[in-house]
Amino acid sequence: MSIAAKRQKACAKLMDDVHAITVQEGITPSALHAIKLKLVALAKRTDLFPLADFAMPVSQGRNHPLLVEDNDGHGLYLTISLPGKVAAPHDHGIWCVNAAVSGRERHKFFRRTDGGDKPGQAVVVKVGEVMVEPGSGMAMADHDIHSTDVVGDEPAIGLALYGYALVNFPGVVWFHPQYKSVRACVSRRQPAMV
């Protein structure tokens, strides 16, 4: 069996396990933790993810689809982020779980403290931090806020599992703590209005 076929089989098994967990529990903190443990175990199988099978990013980062379900199904991706890549605090609008294959990526977590009643303005405060490196991962519920930065001189290569495929994401909300501002991107879930 080829590496690609073994990888596809392992990804399908992971997705079956994820569905078994969410059918039993829904999307709860304990379910997300159980999913994280499954994703970390898959990421440890580095033989399934040789870099020769995945193009490196031309810019800061790249997502390679591994298993993307139809309609409102989940999306599993191999992510490659180059050294120096930083993402400002943001809310995906959907749960996600990450695990490292190699390299290190710091995830800082934030909580919004304002009432959200002033358009374009927001106050967020840091409430935690996790280093995602081989053998570890992180999980976020719907509307959790995090920022990322690649630590060190190696690319951060990991697995990312989202509640929706990237093409079906709700609008991502970006926070800029230094300016106390917020901006929302257009949702990919609805066709653009003309």
pLDDT tens per residue, range 53-86: 999 888 888 999 999 999 889 999 999 999 999 9
Question: Could you tell me if residue 165 is inside a domain?
Answer: yes
**Nearest CA among 49, 76, 61 for reference residue 148:** 61
Question: Could you tell me if residue 190 is inside a domain?
Answer: no
Domains in the chain, number: 1
Question: Could you tell me if residue 191 is inside a domain?
Answer: no
* 24 confidence band (pLDDT: 50, 70, 90): very high
Spatial CB neighbours of 182, under 8 Å, sequence gap ≥ 6: 120, 121, 122, 173, 174, 175, 176
Question: Could you tell me if residue 189 is inside a domain?
Answer: no
Residue % of the chain over a pLDDT of 90: 76
Domain span holding position 115: 3-184
Per DSSP, what are the bridge partners of residue 107?
130, 148
**Which CATH number characterizes residue 114's domain?**
2.60.120.10
Question: Could you tell me if residue 194 is inside a domain?
Answer: no
What the block records as the tokens of 99 is 């695990």
Q: What is the pTM of this model?
A: 0.92
